[in-house]
Amino acid sequence: MKKEIFLEGMHCKHCAQKVKETLENIAGIAKVKVDLNKQKATIKCLESIDNKILTEQIVALGYNVISIEG
């Protein structure tokens, strides 16, 4: 399963790395790619992951989730 998370608030590579590492630590996520320019994180899930969990983790870092597709 693939999901795209559109967010705002990332301003540098360090921000993108924080988002990537946080998402990689969620059980069930196999792969994470963060695109700073597009303000998007793409994840590959091994199992179904509730969008609420993804949103909570990103908001805890100080970023806003615009939408999650997939």
Question: Do the beta carbons of residue 22 and residue 7 sit within 8 Å?
Answer: no
- DSSP-derived secondary structure for the chain: -EEEEEEE---SHHHHHHHHHHHHTSTTEEEEEEETTTTEEEEEESS---HHHHHHHHHHTT-EEEEEE-
- Upper half-sphere CA count for residue 24 (Cβ side, 13 Å): 10
Token representation of residue 56 = 């909570």
Query: According to the model, what pLDDT value does residue 16 have?
Result: 97
pLDDT of residue 69: 96
Mind listing the pLDDT tens digit for each residue in 14-25?
Answer: 999 999 999 999
At residue 38, the pLDDT reads: 97
Domains delineated in the chain:
2-69 (3.30.70.100)
Percent share of the chain, pLDDT over 70: 100
The tens digit of pLDDT for each residue in 24-58 reads 999 999 999 999 999 999 999 998 899 999 999 99
pLDDT at 19: 98
